Structure 1
Amino acid sequence: MTSWRDRLSALARERLPAELASAWAALFRPGIRLVSAGEGPRVGRLGGAPMLPAEAEWPEWPGRGPLDFLAAVDCAALPREFLSIPLPEAGTLLFFYFDGDRREADDTPLLEDVEGSRVVFVPAGVPVAERAAPDGVVPYPGRDLFGEVVATAPEREHLLLEQTVTASGVSLAEAAEEADLPPDYPGTDVFGELVWQQHGKGPHHQVGGFAAPVQGAVEKEIAAAVLGGYRDPRLAEEAARWVLLAQIDSDDEAGMIWGDAGMLYWVIRTDDLDAGRFDRARCTLQCG
């Protein structure tokens, strides 16, 4: 059986100096890529109508309107041996977001607009029924999602690139800057380029693992929003407390376009994740 990390490890050995490739590969984490066809288990659904308890209210952004339902993930169906985060053994995670472009509204949630997105957890055994979208909300086309295990890795300004020291005594970020790399892989961007080569054509929907940022590290972005700026001396400490819960990519087939063909990321503090406080997850959008 081929290891989930083999392809990315091979790319790293091909493109990077041996010491740099070895140090970076040691950080790989498995992620569960959510694809619309594949050999893996059915793990959820993109778009369509959510299954909600009768007493549950449809999430909304106060003053703007109801959120759009994006995806459902069945925790029991995920390949648990490859989960990098401690999700419940059963139950369903529902992801909502206010899609201002689709609604022809002027508002798109910013990081400080914490109610512009929501993660709802429905425990196993709770009676649920398909819920029609509120007036003014047009559901995205629904389709099943299947789980595919992929290698994920820190890239584009992730803290671990600065904190992981190679055998030569310099950080991964410094080693990448100093390495003799192909001209189309400048500096630490080489890590992001290798991850995208491994993943191939999108969309790159995913649960757990490292985020695949369009711009900088999403953990730093969230930490800066929490602390009030990137200059706060506690930035690294705060960023280290956050992990990726899920990412939902732009997806033409589903009618999901985030900004300029960007990506939505839900991240959550590790203590909230351990306690099952999914309502405290934060969402950020990155695009080109």
Structure 2
Amino acid sequence: MTSWRDRLSALAHEHLPAELADAWAGLFRPGIRLVSDGSGPRVGRLGGAPVLPADVAWPEWPGRGPLDFLASVDCAALPRESLSIPLPAAGTLLFFSFDGFRRGADDDPLLDDVEGTRVVFVPAGVPVAERAVPRGPVAYPAVDLYAEVVATAPEREHHLLDQTETANGESLADAAEEVEIPGDYVGSDVFGELVAQAKGRGREHQIGGFAAPVQGAVENEIAAEVLGSYQDPRLAEEAARWVLLAQIDTDDKADMIWGDAGMLYWMIRADDLEAGRFDRARCTLQCG
């Protein structure tokens, strides 16, 4: 059976110098891709109505109204042997966001206020019921999601490209500057293109693994928001504290469009994830 990393490793050794390919392959992590046409177990759903305990209020953005319900993920159904992050063995993760584009807002709230998104965790065994959508949001069409394990890797300005050395003593970022692959991809862009080729083109809803950035490293973006500046000398240190919890891609089936066909990323500090503090996750948007 072909492992999740085999195709990406083969592409890396085909297109990159051996020292660079070996060092980069050592950083690969599995990600759980969530697809609507998979043959694996059903692990969640985009859209529809959430199931919530009676004592849990529908998340709201103070002053703006109820958030939109985006997705649910059943932790017990995920292939745990391929999880790169320590999620609970059971329970449900629910993802909410204020979809300013869909509601005709003048701005994109994801860019300026952490109150515009929320992650709710419902432990296993807690009584729940389907919750009617309140006034304001309009339910997205429901789309079932199935698990597919894919290889992920750091790309496009990720701090690990600067911090990891090849056998020749160069950082991955410096070594990649001398590389070009078909399609005129050069520098750190070669890593992103090889990851895209390994996973195939398609919607990139995902749990765990490395984020698939539309622009620069998502970890850097979150760190800059926390610190207040990309120029803060602590940026790389702060970025290293954050891991990908989930990403939700633009998806026509669910009527989800993030900016210019972009992606939503929920990042969380590793210590908060270990402690189950999902309310501390932060979301950001990247688009073309």
Normalised TM-score (structure 1): 0.98
CA contact (8 A) 2:159 2:240 kept: yes
Given residue 250 of structure 1, which amino acid in structure 2 is its aligned partner? Answer: T
* Structure 1 residues 63-88: Cα deviation after superposition (integer angstroms, max 9, x where no partner): 11111100000000001011000000
Output the CA distance in 2 between the equivalents of 1:136 and 1:275.
33
Output the CA distance in 2 between the equivalents of 1:206 and 1:71.
11
CA contact (8 A) 1:112 1:225 kept: no
Given residue 277 of structure 1, which amino acid in structure 2 is its aligned partner? Answer: R
1:112 is displaced (CA, Å) by 4.2
Residue 269 of structure 1 corresponds to 269
CA contact (8 A) 2:44 2:146 kept: yes
Output the CA distance in 1 between the equivalents of 2:197 and 2:97.
29
* Structure 1 residues 145-192: Cα deviation after superposition (integer angstroms, max 9, x where no partner): 100000000000001100000011100000000235446111110000
How does 1:129-278 map onto structure 2 within 5 Å?
129-179=129-179, 181-182=181-182, 184-278=184-278
* Structure 1 residues 59-111: Cα deviation after superposition (integer angstroms, max 9, x where no partner): 11111111110000000000101100000000000000110111112232234
Residue 20 of structure 1 corresponds to 20
CA contact (8 A) 1:30 1:209 kept: yes
Classify the secondary structure of the residue corresponding to 1:4: coil
1:132 is displaced (CA, Å) by 1.1
Classify the secondary structure of the residue corresponding to 1:110: helix
Q: Which runs of 5+ in 1 are unaligned?
A: none
CA contact (8 A) 2:180 2:187 kept: no
Residue 117 of structure 1 corresponds to 117
1:31 is displaced (CA, Å) by 0.3
Q: Which runs of 5+ in 2 are unaligned?
A: none
Given residue 9 of structure 2, which amino acid in structure 1 is its aligned partner? Answer: S
CA contact (8 A) 1:75 1:90 kept: yes
Output the CA distance in 2 between the equivalents of 1:202 and 1:249.
9
Output the CA distance in 1 between the equivalents of 2:140 and 2:101.
13
Structure 1 runs of 4+ aligned residues shifted over 6 Å read: none
Given residue 28 of structure 1, which amino acid in structure 2 is its aligned partner? Answer: F
Residue 65 of structure 2 corresponds to 65
Given residue 36 of structure 2, which amino acid in structure 1 is its aligned partner? Answer: S
1:136 is displaced (CA, Å) by 2.2
Residue 10 of structure 1 corresponds to 10
Q: Aligned residue pairs: how many?
A: 288
Residue 97 of structure 1 corresponds to 97
Overall identity of the aligned pairs, in %: 81
Classify the secondary structure of the residue corresponding to 1:256: coil
Classify the secondary structure of the residue corresponding to 1:156: coil
Normalised TM-score (structure 2): 0.98
Classify the secondary structure of the residue corresponding to 1:222: helix
Output the CA distance in 1 between the equivalents of 2:173 and 2:123.
41
CA contact (8 A) 2:43 2:145 kept: yes
1:247 is displaced (CA, Å) by 0.1
CA contact (8 A) 2:179 2:186 kept: no
CA contact (8 A) 1:111 1:225 kept: no
Moved more, 222-231 or 193-202: 193-202
Given residue 35 of structure 2, which amino acid in structure 1 is its aligned partner? Answer: V
Given residue 148 of structure 1, which amino acid in structure 2 is its aligned partner? Answer: E
Classify the secondary structure of the residue corresponding to 2:222: helix
